[in-house]
Structure 1
């Protein structure tokens, strides 16, 4: 079942449950999916990778907003953003643990033949493609820096 179909069903359930926060987050995701489908050159169908990219972007935007609200002591808005992050995260695959990430990145470093911090670009290119949807870009970057610094 596609993400769009799942979101539609969950929107109906949120309406029936009168869950405003969930409904708002799901409608926002549906809007972004529809915009992507109708974008020039897409042909109306999104791949699973496109759907994961959309969800990750939505979560990242909300995390950035939440950070700003936290700095400005806006607890009301911070709670709203955090609730939306929780709703959207349900549709994302389970994130890799730190040990799993380290193991995967060690394999990628060996595969691309990186040995110094100057090879970070090669590693990041391969890692972001291979670990898309499984790990946060910031976590990947931090781990790659530490692994290349120690080699």
Structure 2
């Protein structure tokens, strides 16, 4: 079953759950809307990789919102965003750990001297796309460059 079909199926289940599925329903609708907008803008049908990218973008937006709501002391919004993130995590691919990212970076740079930050990121990002946050990858690459 494709990711789009899974979203549709889960949306139907959330509708049947009435009040218990309210947050899941709203979140899934938002994701499906974002996917549809990307498809309309790009004039193409998204595959699972494209849908995953949209879901990752939605997750990133919620993480950023979460920190802002916590700073503002808005616990009601913090709880809502955390619930939405829990729904989105179901559709996200398994995220790589920092050690796994370090291994990928060191493997990609093995035997190559005088690489700059941008060069390494170009080598590594296609391998970790959707599986790791770009800022974490960037931080790890900086650490590795400083030790060389």
TM over 0.5: yes
Runs of 5+ unmatched residues, structure 2: none
Question: Which residue does 1:55 correspond to in 2?
Answer: 55
Give runs of aligned pairs for residues 2-151 of structure 1, distance below 5 A: 2-18=2-18, 19-42=21-44, 45-110=45-110, 113-115=112-114, 119-151=116-148
CA contact (8 A) 1:56 1:133 kept: yes
Which region of structure 1 is more displaced relative to structure 2, 121-130 or 135-144?
121-130
CA distance in 1, matches of 2:6, 2:104: 30
- Structure 1 position 138, deviation (Å): 1.1
Which region of structure 1 is more displaced relative to structure 2, 96-105 or 141-150?
96-105
Give the number of equivalent residue pairs.
146
Q: Please, what TM-score do these two structures have when normalized by structure 2?
A: 0.92
CA distance in 1, matches of 2:88, 2:107: 30
CA distance in 2, matches of 1:30, 1:66: 21
CA distance in 2, matches of 1:4, 1:99: 31
- Structure 1 position 114, deviation (Å): 4.8
Runs of 5+ unmatched residues, structure 1: none
CA contact (8 A) 1:114 1:122 kept: no
RMSD over equivalenced CA pairs, Å: 1.4
